[in-house]
């Protein structure tokens, strides 16, 4: 059957949603929580259920002007206000402005008893009054286990849970209901997840003494949503969920070229560097000047008047600045100007998510054009390889979406210092991959650099030897010998041999010139002798002809037919 809506290409109706205002959560839920319906947030102790509910209310008031009601069954209004004050949430002020209503309900048998059975009629009346008194659009119930603690009859419990959820839907309020996780079920009762329109599971786990929090949308009726586990953090700004920034890879790109900070490396690229907003990976074994190259890249960005954010996991800012000054990379002036910011910490200080959210926050505050992370391999100590790869995927996507040029350094193992895939597994994700390695010779160790890949850029395929000098990193000219590229002392030996060969060739040319000069002199002497002999013969012939009969006597100047002189006329004297 023909479907006109599909044929016309019109968009299908979407489920109305209430944006939460929580960083990252709206992206995962594709717009927010179901509008006018209950959402169940469940999890173990310490995972942030209550905080998520309170932030849902506060963001709704601050960002969307929607009043809210918080009905708590465990903590008093004063306790809740004190707990979230450190996050910048002033619940007292919101109550005074008639935008928030806090109500603590102490549930006991006397409040819920009616005709010998428990029911929620008293709760409905109390909650309804709170909603109507401020015109609330959002409601949070924290937590539902306390509310149903008096129900021992499972059939009555099931009925009352359904009745509660139906009552909330009829009121048309967007509701967040928190619940403790059960043994083998999402909640203690194991019933709430079935009647909820949306279920969000919060998980707080400890792996290798590192705390990690995960969020997952278990179900969402009438809407698509992210189905993976997403890390989230509780920071001084509230809850931050970290989804993959750009799964569709639709970010814009730039054709502008930025310098690596080393002229020799720039010359290895046909366009004199790599694209702005791209990601570059610099891998190598220990001692191959990865940090020096990274600092040179940061310095070049600052010299362009561009802000640079430098994450250091191995050196303090003071140590990094001092060490780089010894090789001609002076970062101190740009730190003072505010163009460079160095954030230094040990990877084990926080989990992967904390590092990621710290970077997000600093990028948002500092607005850099360049980010350097040195090294990413240290993150292995706070997470598995798959977790580190996931974190770096999010990071690379986030930086690309914001058009930020990124440089990552990574330590690799192996004698050659080269692996087709780094331990973090990000070599396939980056746009440019540069490898630095040890070039070991007889009794010495040198450094070499090569470009393994550069998307969209023609580049050299040579392995270039480089030196770290007081003027920075300098790439040396390629010297090729019979067995390949010559480095280090071999380069000096090759140069000495070339000089010796040139000297020998010069001496041979000098000998040739001297021999030619001797031969020239012998030839000139021979020619002189021949000329003298010719003149002697010529003189003898002249005399012989002068002595022939008929020739004037005593006239030595009489010329024969071949002579150039003539006899003087009579009466004249020959001159």
CATH 3.40.50.300 given to domain 257-478: yes
Q: Containing H/E element for 311?
A: strand 308-312
**pLDDT score at 366:** 92
Q: Give tens-digit pLDDT for 13-32.
A: 778 999 999 888 888 898 89
Q: Give tens-digit pLDDT for 81-122.
A: 888 888 888 999 999 999 999 988 876 655 544 444 556 788
Rounded Cα gap, residues 404 and 84, in angstroms: 34
Which segment of 126-130, 219-223, 231-235, 433-437 scores lowest on mean pLDDT? 231-235
Q: Which two tokens stand for residue 347?
A: 């990877």
- Residue range 116-129: average pLDDT? 76
- Residue 8 — very low, low, confident or very high, per pLDDT cuts 50/70/90? very low
Rounded Cα gap, residues 156 and 8, in angstroms: 50
**pLDDT score at 563:** 45
Rounded Cα gap, residues 84 and 509, in angstroms: 91
The residue whose two tokens read 């479907």 is 3
Residue 146 has pLDDT above 80, yes or no: no
- Residue 207 — very low, low, confident or very high, per pLDDT cuts 50/70/90? low
CATH 3.40.50.300 given to domain 17-241: yes
Which segment of 165-174, 197-206, 412-421 scores lowest on mean pLDDT? 412-421
* DSSP E strand stretches across 419-518: 432-441, 444-454, 464-469, 472-475, 480-481, 484-485
Rounded Cα gap, residues 259 and 276, in angstroms: 9
DSSP 397-424: HHHHHTT-EEEEEEE--STT---SS-TT
Residue 139 has pLDDT above 90, yes or no: yes
- Rg of the chain's alpha carbons, rounded to an integer? 45
**pLDDT score at 554:** 52
Q: Measuring CA to CA, which residue among 223, 170, 224, 163 is closest to residue 195? A: 163
Residue 230 has pLDDT above 80, yes or no: yes
What are the phi and psi torsion angles at 211 (to 5°)? -80, 135
Q: Give tens-digit pLDDT for 149-191.
A: 656 666 777 777 888 889 999 999 999 999 888 776 666 666 6
DSSP state of 378: G
The SS3 of residue 380 is helix
CB under 8 A, 24+ apart: contacts of 445-450: 445/488, 446/487, 446/488, 447/288, 447/289, 448/487, 449/265, 449/475
**pLDDT score at 411:** 86
Contact 279, 429 (CB under 8 A): yes
Kindly report the CA angle at 15 between 173 and 401, in degrees rounded to 5?
A: 110
Longest dimension (CA), the chain: 183
Would you give the distance in Å from CA 124 to the centre of its chain?
A: 53
The model's pTM: 0.66
Q: Which residues contact 205 (CB under 8 A, 6 or more apart)?
A: 211, 212, 213, 214
Residue 219 has pLDDT above 70, yes or no: yes
**pLDDT score at 238:** 84
Rounded Cα gap, residues 172 and 139, in angstroms: 10
Q: Give tens-digit pLDDT for 418-460.
A: 444 455 567 888 999 999 988 776 667 888 899 999 999 999 9
Which segment of 89-98, 216-225, 227-236, 331-340 scores lowest on mean pLDDT? 227-236
- Residue range 518-523: average pLDDT? 90
- Residue 545 — very low, low, confident or very high, per pLDDT cuts 50/70/90? confident
Which segment of 23-37, 137-151, 308-322 scores lowest on mean pLDDT? 137-151
**pLDDT score at 33:** 94
For residue 207, what are the β-bridge partners? 210
Give the rounded percent of residues in the chain with a pLDDT score beyond 90.
35
Rounded Cα gap, residues 88 and 85, in angstroms: 5
Contact 411, 424 (CB under 8 A): no
What is the DSSP pairing of strand 210-220 with strand 230-235?
antiparallel
Sign of the four-CA dihedral 506, 510, 513, 519: negative
User: Distance between terminal CA atoms of the chain?
Assistant: 138
Q: Which two tokens stand for residue 230?
A: 């997403």
Rounded Cα gap, residues 145 and 349, in angstroms: 35
């Amino acid at each position: 059957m023909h479907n006109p809506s599909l044929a016309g290409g019109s968009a299908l109706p979407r489920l109305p949603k209430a944006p939460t205002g929580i960083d990252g959560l709206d992206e995962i839920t594709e717009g927010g929580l179901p509008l006018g319906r209950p959402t169940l947030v469940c999890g173990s102790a310490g995972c942030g259920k209550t905080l998520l509910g309170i932030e849902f209310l506060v963001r709704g008031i601050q960002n969307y002007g929607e009043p809210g009601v918080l009905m708590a069954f465990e903590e008093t209004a004063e306790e809740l206000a004190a707990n979230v004050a450190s996050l910048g949430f002033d619940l007292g002020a919101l109550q005074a402005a008639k935008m928030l209503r806090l109500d603590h309900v102490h549930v006991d048998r006397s409040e819920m008893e009616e005709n010998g059975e428990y029911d929620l009629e008293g709760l409905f009346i109390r909650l309804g009054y709170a909603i109507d008194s401020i015109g609330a659009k959002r409601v949070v119930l924290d937590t539902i286990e306390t509310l149903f603690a008096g129900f021992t009859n499972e059939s009555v419990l099931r009925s009352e849970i359904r009745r509660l959820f139906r009552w909330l839907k009829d009121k048309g309020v967007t509701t967040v209901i928190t619940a403790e996780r059960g043994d083998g079920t999402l909640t203690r009762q194991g019933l709430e997840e079935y009647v909820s329109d949306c279920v969000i599971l919060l998980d707080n786990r400890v792996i290798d003494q590192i705390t990690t929090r995960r969020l997952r949308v278990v179900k969402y009726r009438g809407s698509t949503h992210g189905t993976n586990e997403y890390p989230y953090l509780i920071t001084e700004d509230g809850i931050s969920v970290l989804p993959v920034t750009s799964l569709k890879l639709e970010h814009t790109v730039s054709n502008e070229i930025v310098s690596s900070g080393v002229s020799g490396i720039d010359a290895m690229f046909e366009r004199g560097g790599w694209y702005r907003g791209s990601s570059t990976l610099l891998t190598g074994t220990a001692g191959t000047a990865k940090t020096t190259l990274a600092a040179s890249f940061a310095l070049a960005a600052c010299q362009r008047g561009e802000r640079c954010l430098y994450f250091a996991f191995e050196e303090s800012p003071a140590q990094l600045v001092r060490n780089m000054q010894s090789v001609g990379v002076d970062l101190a002036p740009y730190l003072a100007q505010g163009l460079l910011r160095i954030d230094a910490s040990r990877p084990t200080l926080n989990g992967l998510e904390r590092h990621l959210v710290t970077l997000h926050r600093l990028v948002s505050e500092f607005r850099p054009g360049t980010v350097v992370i040195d090294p990413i391999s240290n993150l292995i100590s706070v997470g598995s390889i798959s977790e580190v790869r996931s974190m770096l995927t999010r990071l690379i996507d986030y930086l690309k979406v914001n058009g930020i040029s990124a440089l990552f350094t990574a330590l690799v193992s192996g004698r050659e210092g080269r692996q087709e895939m780094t331990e973090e597994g990000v070599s396939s994700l980056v746009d440019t991959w540069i490898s630095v390695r040890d070039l070991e010779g007889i009794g010495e160790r040198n450094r070499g650099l090569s470009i393994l890949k550069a998307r969209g850029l023609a580049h050299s395929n040579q392995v270039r030897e480089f030196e770290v000098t007081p003027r920075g990193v300098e790439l040396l000219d390629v010297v090729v010998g019979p067995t390949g590229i010559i480095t280090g002392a071999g380069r000096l030996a090759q140069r000495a041999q070339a000089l010796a060969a040139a000297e020998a060739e010069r001496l041979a040319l000098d000998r040739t010139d001297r021999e030619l000069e001797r031969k020239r002199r012998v030839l000139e002497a021979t020619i002189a002798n021949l000329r003298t002999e010719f003149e002697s013969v010529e003189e003898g012939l002249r005399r012989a002809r002068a002595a022939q009969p008929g020739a004037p006597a005593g006239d030595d100047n009489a010329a024969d037919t071949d002579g150039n002189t003539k006899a003087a006329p009579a009466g004249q004297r020959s001159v």
